[in-house]
Structure 1
Amino acid sequence: METSRTPLLPEPARKLGAWCAVVLLVAGVAAVFVWLCVVFKAAVTPVLLAILGTALLGPLYRRLLRMKVSKSLAAAITVLAVLVVVGGATYIVVAALIETGDQILASLRQAAVDIAEHFGAAGTSLEDLAENARTLLEKFGGTAASGVISGLSVVGQMLATAVLALLLIFFFLRDSDRAAGSLRSLVPAGTGDTAEAMARRAFEAVEGFMRGTTLVALVDAVLIGVGLLVLDVPGAVGLAALVFVTAYIPYLGAFLSGAVAVLVALADRGFVIALWVLGVVLAVQVIEGNVLQPMVQSRTVQMHPAAVMLAITAGASVAGVLGMLLAVPLTAAATGILGELRARYAAPQGPVPEEAS
């Protein structure tokens, strides 16, 4: 006669252990994936940049296809558009920062000195921070401008990454119709539909993020730039360019660019104008938060601000500035995948059956 065995652990403890095992397994896989990305960053970075470029101008490619343009020509035109848009924006931003960079740095240093006079030791640390930032920027600019081997190596690596990313954008666009078939060939037969739906949802999230963030960055830069010009703040064009670039880092970027604009105004135009600049920055952020962001996020994956900040911090710890820029779109893609899985595997909540009388 068999006797039933009493489990060593109660049911809640066993469930907790199972969940801990799942969490450890997922964390281990994620850690290995991040480690591989860091090791092969020379190949991973162009792929990620190509995905972002494809997501940004993918609608242009599809519009060209609807106009009966061949796939290869449509992909080539889109790549040219990427080159013109990104290259033009980079040129405008770099030119503006070079033209007004010294003025902005001098204003920041003067602001640090003024703060040091009023706040003592705390202001002295700010002054040291400004001086160190100025020194680092001067070294970076000197390295990029001079013909030393290290500077040329960095520039050459950036150019190689950009060229490879452009080539990948061309192939991603031209062969996008084969992506679903390739993905299905890599996964088990029974999970083909799920894998394709997850991939589409992830790409749609990245596409929505890139287009929405670019629109928000442009509007923020124009509005704040106009406000700085009206208030006659020195380096207004360079500060507007800084707003545009940092807008791709949600929340943190707006804080940094706004703080720089206020400090520059404080140093050169006084306390009253600095308050006006602060008001302009806050007004633009209110417009962004209540008008632009709801319009953008209604068409893409919504993410909690805490999740965004954690993603930015993790990206910065892994890959520096590039990690900060890539962290949010990658998080948006992961959120889209989780949303698709939840929609597919969530328990259906149908009507409760009535008991038979």
Structure 2
Amino acid sequence: MQLLPDPVRRLAAWCAAVLLVAGVVWIVIRLCGQFRTAVVPVLLALLGTALLGPLHRWLVRAGVHRSLAAGITCVAVVTVVGGAVYIVVSALVDTGDQILSSLKRAAKSVTTYFGAAGTSLDDLATSSKGLFSKFAGTAASNVISGVSVVAEYIAMAVLALLLVFFFLRDSHRVAHQLRSLAPRGTADTIEAVARRAFAAVEGFMRGTTVIALIDATLTTVGLPVLRVPGAIGLGALVFVGAYIPYLGAFLSGAVAVLVALADRGLVIALWALGVVVAVQVLDGHVLQPVVQSRTVRMHPAAVLLALTAGASVAGILGMLLAVPLTAAAFGVGHELRTRYGPGDEPGSARPGPDGRGEQPGA
């Protein structure tokens, strides 16, 4: 005899499934945190492979051996990333004090009109400068701890670079390996899902990098026209912030407007706001639809939730990794929905890019 009605039993079954999935996800996150020195390089290597894959494929098509092409690509990424990091860090170091002092002056101006909001901004600028000083003092006084942290980061970076080399060199074998490990009858689905997930990450990385370069260039060119100080550093902030959708653009744009308000007055601050808004409008309505038109488009709410979850799990690194991982998850969901959605039978043909029938896994 059934003691509970059928709706209650269905609800209990769903609750048990949700709790089971949540428990598995929590365990996976904890394990990733414990083995972060191995997990982080793998994730970074996957992002690097997605970004550099077109260059490697072009070299292979040009007749270069796969291993040599992977080595050339890794040398190129070291040169480009190292140069970009040097430019960004140098710009922030050279203009950091100027930007912080401008923020403090902006805080006094905002205090005049908004009271507590300006006081909070002044406290934030003061805390930022104190945080930099404290970090420098800690690094100077605690050499052993600093060296260990730096050594860990260097080891992770070297491991990620080596993994990029192997991922690029052996990328043509991945599909065969997946098919050999897949359970019987699921090889086509697993290969198609993996391809769709990697294509989503690849499109996100390439598109975001192109958009970040364009946004940073427009900001760096537009702010000096208004004679706003620290334009190079602000452009560097825009470039870095582009990899954190919405939130990064908002923060870097707010800093640019506040710096303009402090050094050039309200009118120039409004013009700077116009430059920032124009860049973001160009980003949202022209660059993203054109550059990222073939990737999985995510709703802003999903992106913000992913950023919040990534920040709560792994801080800034989690925010940087959250969106591409979410893009991969959306790609997997889109592929499964295309294959097993309503009206489709598993394994049936589906329309290809040219409108003709396409077999699963093609």
Match of 1:63 among 42, 45, 58: 58
The TM-score, its normalising length taken from structure 1, stands at 0.92
Matched residues in 1 for 2:184 and 2:101: separation? 63
Deviation at 1:111, TM superposition (A): 1.2
Are residue 222 (structure 1) and residue 217 (structure 2) matched?
yes
CA distance in 2, matches of 1:329, 1:155: 26
After superposing the two structures, state which structure 1 stretch, 336-345 or 207-216, moved more. 336-345
Could you say if the C-alpha distance between residues 349 and 161 of structure 1 is closer, same or farther in structure 2, counting changes exceeding 3 Å?
closer
Could you tell me how far apart the structure 2 residues matched to 1:90 and 1:236 are?
A: 17
Partners in 2 of 1:43 and 1:124 — Cα distance? 43
2:24 to 21, 29, 52: 29
- The answer to whether the 8 Å contact 1:144/1:155 transfers is no
Correspondence list, 1:325-340, <5 A: 325-340=320-335
Structure 1 gaps, min length 5: 351-357
Within a 5 Å distance, the mapping from 1:1-357 to structure 2 comes to 7-141=2-136, 148-348=143-343
TM-score by length of 2: 0.90
Deviating 4+ runs (over 6 angstroms): none
Find the aligned partners of 1:36 and 1:56 in 2 and give their Cα distance. 27
RMSD over aligned Cα atoms = 1.8
Of 136-145 and 86-95, deviating more is 136-145
How far the C-alpha of 1:122 sits from its partner, in A, is 3.3
Following superposition, the deviation at residue 224 of structure 1 comes to: 1.1
Q: List gaps (5 residues or longer) in structure 2.
A: 346-362
* CA deviation vs aligned residue, 1:28-75 (integer Å, no higher than 9, x gap): 221111111111111111111100000001001111111111110011
* Contact kept? 1:143, 1:150, Cα under 8 Å: no
- Deviation of 1:153 (Å): 2.6
How many correspondences in the alignment?
Answer: 345
Q: Is this contact kept in 2: 1:55–1:210, CA < 8 A?
A: yes
1:323 deviation in Å?
A: 0.4
Q: CA deviation at 1:10?
A: 4.0
Corresponding residue of 2:349: none
TM-superposed CA distance for 1:131, in Å, is 0.7
Q: Distance in 2 between matches of 1:337 and 1:219?
A: 29
SS at 2:185 equivalent? helix
| Cα 1:186/1:35, change in 2 over 3 Å | farther
Report the alpha carbon displacement of residue 9 of structure 1 after superposing the two structures with TM: 4.0
Cα drift, residue 219 of structure 1: 0.8
C-alpha distance in 2 between matches for 1:209 and 1:290? 16
Higher CA-based Rg: 1
Whole-Å Cα distance in 1 between the matches of residues 76 and 138 of structure 2?
30
Deviation at 1:13, TM superposition (A): 3.5
Identity of paired residues, percent? 70
